[in-house]
């Protein structure tokens, strides 16, 4: 569930907005390498072919 906050709302609702922005930026910076690490570690337990399959497959459309 996404929640949208305008910059004004963010400033009003977060007591230390500068620190919150730093934490968000840190998370956004480290997220891509974490995803790569999870993918590489997953290869230790499952085959590449199995990992290529979507856990949320899309069925064929009618029509």
pLDDT of the residue at 8: 86
Alpha carbons 39 and 51: distance in angstroms, whole number: 8
Give the start-to-end residue ranges of the domains of the chain.
15-49
pLDDT in tens, 12-52: 888 888 898 999 999 999 999 999 999 899 999 999 888 88
pLDDT of the residue at 5: 79
**Largest Cα span, the chain:** 53
pLDDT of the residue at 60: 62
pLDDT of the residue at 12: 85
Nearest-CA neighbor of 23 among 36, 10, 37, 9?
Answer: 10
Residue 11 near residue 17, CB atoms below 8 Å: yes
* CA angle, 41 then 47 then 48, to 5°: 80
pTM: 0.55
């Amino acid at each position: 569930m996404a929640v949208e906050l305008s910059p004004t709302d963010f400033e009003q609702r977060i007591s230390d907005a500068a620190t919150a922005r730093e934490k968000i930026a840190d998370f956004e910076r480290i997220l891509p390498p974490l995803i790569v690490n999870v993918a590489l570690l997953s290869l230790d337990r499952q085959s590449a072919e199995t990992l290529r399959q979507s856990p949320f497959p899309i069925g064929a459309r009618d029509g």
